[in-house]
């Protein structure tokens, strides 16, 4: 696990944003370039209280599982996770207690993140072992990059397939997608743009069910 450069909270947030930017710039792939090509990385900071979740217990293992190119970012996140404002969109009434105990996200920048950005939202998703994130969709266009491999992902009417750490997964607006984990946790980076950047996902096939 990577050590943080000092204990100042502002320094910690700045270092995580720096590592996030460097990782994305280093990918040099068309979907990522399109998302961040003209984005200003100097963003005003928002004051948010730290909020921890049960799923954070999986971060040390996720950092161990991260491939070499993803290790710095995963390690920095794991080392400073308890200072970040983690959230959940759903409740146990939606998908059960096991899901809630093993699920969470943090927005690094966006309309409600630690840094203010009105056009792109980005952060991290954690799913613990043995979790199914059912089919869902949203207006926002989305990129996921798993920082750990081994989880299964589905898009549209396709089958679940295992994705490697570092793969780029692009979901167009309102494309249905789902994830499920096996014996190990999933840590993934996400990017959103378009529509309401704080919108709840709609569960089920596009056009058939309302948002939770």
| Alpha-carbon distances of 130 from 62, 139, 182, 183, rounded to whole Å | 14, 28, 5, 6
Q: Which sequence spans correspond to the domains of the chain?
A: 9-203
Closest CA to 110 of 140, 73, 89, 133: 140
From the list 123, 104, 101, the residue with the least C-alpha distance to 114 is: 123
Report pLDDT for 200. Answer: 82
Query: What 8-state DSSP symbol labels residue 183?
Result: S
CB atoms within 10 A of CB 80: 19
Alpha carbon separation from 169 to 28, 64, 84, 203 (Å, rounded): 14, 22, 25, 19
Read off the tokens for 69.
């190119």
Give the C-alpha separation, 124 to 143, whole Å. 11
Three-state SS string over 148-173 comes to: CCCCEEEECCCCCEECCCCCCEEECC
Per-residue confidence in pLDDT tens, the chain, 212 aa: 444 455 566 688 999 999 999 999 998 899 999 999 889 999 999 999 999 999 999 999 999 999 999 999 999 999 999 999 999 999 999 999 999 999 999 999 999 999 999 999 999 999 999 999 999 888 989 999 999 999 999 999 899 999 999 999 999 888 999 999 999 999 999 999 998 888 888 887 654 433 32
pLDDT value of position 118: 94
- Rounded distance between C-alpha atoms, residue 66 and residue 126, angstroms: 13
d(CA 146, CA 164): 7
Tell me how far apart the alpha carbons of residues 69 and 118 are, in angstroms, rounded to a whole number. Answer: 29
- Record the tokens describing residue 149, joined without a space: 């491999």
φ/ψ of 86, rounded to 5, equals -85, 150
Is 9-203 assigned to CATH 3.40.50.300?
no
Q: What is the pLDDT of residue 174?
A: 87
DSSP-derived letter for residue 82 is G
How far is it between the farthest Cα atoms of the chain? 50
């Amino acid at each position: 696990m990577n050590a943080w450069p000092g204990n100042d909270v502002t320094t910690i947030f700045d270092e995580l944003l720096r590592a996030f930017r460097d990782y994305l710039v280093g990918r040099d792939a068309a979907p990522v370039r399109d998302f961040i090509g003209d984005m200003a990385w100097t963003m005003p900071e928002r004051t948010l209280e730290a909020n921890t979740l049960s799923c954070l217990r999986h971060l040390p293992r996720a950092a161990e599982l991260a491939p070499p190119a993803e290790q710095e970012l995963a390690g920095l996140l794991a080392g400073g996770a308890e200072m970040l404002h983690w959230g959940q969109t759903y409740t146990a009434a939606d998908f059960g207690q096991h899901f809630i105990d093993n699920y969470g996200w943090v927005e690094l920048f966006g309309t409600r993140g630690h840094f203010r950005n009105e056009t792109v939202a980005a952060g991290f998703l954690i799913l613990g072992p043995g979790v199914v994130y059912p089919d869902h969709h949203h207006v926002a266009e989305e990129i996921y990059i798993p920082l750990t491999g081994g989880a299964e992902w589905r898009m549209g009417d396709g089958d679940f397939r295992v994705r490697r750490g570092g793969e780029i997964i692009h979901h167009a607006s309102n494309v249905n997608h789902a994830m499920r984990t096996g014996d190990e946790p999933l840590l993934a980076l996400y990017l959103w743009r378009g529509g309401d950047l704080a919108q709840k996902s709609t569960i089920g096939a596009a056009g058939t069910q309302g948002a939770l």
